[in-house]
Amino acid sequence: MAAYVMDSVLFCDQFGTARMRAIFSDESVVQRWLDVEAALAKVQGRLGIIPSWAAEEIGRKARVELIDLAELKQEMDRTAHPIVPLLRLMKRVCDRDAGEYIHWGATTQDIVDTGTVLQVRDALDEIEAALRELHGRVRTLCVRHRDQVMAGRSHGQQALPITFGFKAAVWADEIHRHLERLGQMRKRVLVGQFSGAVGTLAALGDRGLEVQRALFDELGLGLPAITWHVARDGIAELVCVLSLCAATAGKIAHEIYCLQKTEVGELEEPFAMGKVGSSTMPHKRNPPACETIVAVARLVRHSVPAAIEAVMAEHERDKMVLQTEREFIPRVCAMTHLVLCKLSAVLDGLSVRPANMERNLFLQNGLLMSEAVMMRLSDTLGRQEAHEIVYRICMEVFERGGSLKQALMADPAVSARLGEDEIDAMLDPHAYTGLAGHFADQVAARPLP
């Protein structure tokens, strides 16, 4: 039985993806540590700092399958240290005395931080790919439903007509900005860590910068201006940006959830026979995918305070913040990837119900079009006077029933200025979508970053 949902055989795919579980698995963590140690030995061998034969042997043996993870865990518990037990095990598997040259001039946090950055790079590649796929799904909705008129809503109430393509374009533009953020963030987050015990590279003397540059070139990571042992703003930025991505996915899923409500019925997440909504109400067609996306997006968002808290590290090294990062980095990456992938699947099979959108345009018997009437009357009455008249008429219709058209024609101030044909034209929601189509086209045409 799993103690945490992400490791549960039953629930793991509701809180993460198989790809993210692989990237942040124990095997991957240890392999990334070994990758850093091997790269360090390789460049130091090439620079003549350690024997080249030792560097080659370290590179050959830096494979997680040669490490007994059970023994490593036991020694980590005994020593209260993650890297020293690994170095001892590596010394055992390396021929001759090659193990004596592992970790030359490094400190534990150099290895752990750089290993984490390598994992984060893999995770960002997957997350960005998922975000691009999601953008494509949303853009398709934007183009396909450019002219599908529906009720726009504000404060939970019907407001004015829009098109579904316009609504999707708002989503697409937001996702476009997230792709920009991911690209901008990479140069600040995908930076290596190799600076020695307190960040001064004292152990390598005047060779420190040479080794540092060569190491990060080897690993394909950015070169920091100075150590970031206690400068965790890059990790905090990572969590903040991923939380924004997850929040957008959650918002879109929640919108679908709301528009799938029985009384609205304008959208529905994919349904297939066999999908059960209730153990006792056979008629139910629930939106469980959207509910999961919203719930997991909230969990990602709640990780931001922990990431900001970790920025407040102490002195030149602080394991307290590192321990919290070890918990939330894999979780945030896994959950963000999950909501992006799951929402793409929802949008790929989304049911759009034009008939229900059309029906809902007329639920309030014309009240949806009050602005159009007010603006037309403003030409002769002035805006404030027109607002007062239309407000009074609308409230009467709202309270007493009837239609806005009937009430307008019965009001002397209106009937003296507007004929029935004019009122009919103003109350047509299809003629009052403004520049919705233009904005949808504009967003759909934007090249991706």
**What whole-number distance in Å separates Cα of residue 372 and Cα of residue 386?**
11
Residue given tokens 């008129």 in the structure block: 149
Two tokens, residue 49: 């700092």
Q: For 222, phi and psi rounded to 5 degrees? A: -70, 160
Tokens 């001064």: give the residue. 200
Residue type, 180: E
**Is the Cβ–Cβ distance between 424 and 404 less than 8 Å?**
no
DSSP string computed for 164-191? HHHHHHHHHHHHHHHHHHHHHHHHHHSB
Give the span between the Cα atoms of 323 and 7, in whole angstroms: 19
| H-run or E-run covering 333 | helix 319-348
Which 8-state DSSP code applies to residue 195?
-
For CA atoms 48, 52, 54, 56, give the dihedral sign: positive
Task: Provide CB contacts within 8 A for 287, sequence distance 6+.
Answer: 256, 257, 260, 268, 269
What is the rounded CA–CA span in Å between residue 409 and residue 418? 8
For residue 216, the surrounding DSSP H or E stretch is helix 208-219
Query: What distance, in Å, lies between the first and last C-alpha atoms of the chain?
Result: 44
Other Cβ atoms less than 10 A from the Cβ of 382: the count is 11
Structure tokens at 67: 């490490």
> Which residues are known to be catalytic?
155, 278
Is the Cβ–Cβ distance between 128 and 182 less than 8 Å? yes
Query: How would DSSP label each residue in 101-134?
Result: GTTTT--HHHHHHHHHHHHHHHHHHHHHHHHHHH
Residue type, 91: K
Q: How far apart are CA 110 and CA 389, in angstroms?
A: 71
CB atoms within 10 A of CB 351: 13
Q: Are 30 and 69 in contact (CB under 8 A)?
A: yes
Query: Tokens 């060779």, residue?
Result: 207
Cα–Cα distance between 146 and 127 in angstroms, integer?
28
